[in-house]
Amino acid sequence: MKKHSYFIIGISTDVGKTVVAAIITQALQADYWKPIQTGAGEHGDARTVRSLIANDKTVIHPESIVLKAPMSPHAAAALEKLTLDIVQVIRPVTINSLVIEGAGGLLVPINNQHTVMDLIAPTDKLILVSAGYLGSINHTLLSLEVLKTRGLTCAGIIYNQVTLAGTIEVIEAMTGVPTLGHLDSENIIDSAVITKYAASMRDKLLAL
């Protein structure tokens, strides 16, 4: 299996990026890396992914930047009297595929010049996480448009609890970006649920 890097980004915050990252990590038995973690604590995203996957091949790589406040990186850094520089964000070296989880959405500020989008490499397989809330179509389309301005291509979209009929269909029709999967509302998110979705999406992920 050819090794790739997969960059996971949401159309907004709290749309399910970490769950999606865990699914893709499990599906590909890839490594996982969160470049910038804000709101650091015992329930960080890397720890969540570790608790959800069920394979012995994944390596969880340490974050490049860890900040305490649950805010955008630039604001969390300011509280700690720090100025972030994207040169601090160094990708881990691995012979495995790598799943990279971004922070928030594409234009979340890292400092006064750079956003999360600046962490995306041209060779990354970029996967957008969309969700079912009022305004999500607009946020999805805006995210795809801003990617175009940087010459970046979205490999596919994973939808999280989109219940309004026609939402996914109109995004597909307007953008041509394929749907890689859809997460239903689950009573609990555990490794069994992650493994179920991983199996359902594996072939599409391998085909990217």
Q: Which structural domains are found in the chain, ordered by start?
A: 5-206 (3.40.50.300)
* pLDDT for 133: 95
* pLDDT for 42: 61
Q: Give the tens place of pLDDT for each residue, 152-186.
A: 999 999 999 999 999 999 999 999 999 999 999 99
How far is 206 from 199, CA to CA, in rounded Å? 11
pTM of this prediction? 0.96
Active site residue 34: yes
* pLDDT for 87: 96
Over range 72-78, report the average pLDDT: 96
Active-site residue, from 2, 3, 17, 34: 34
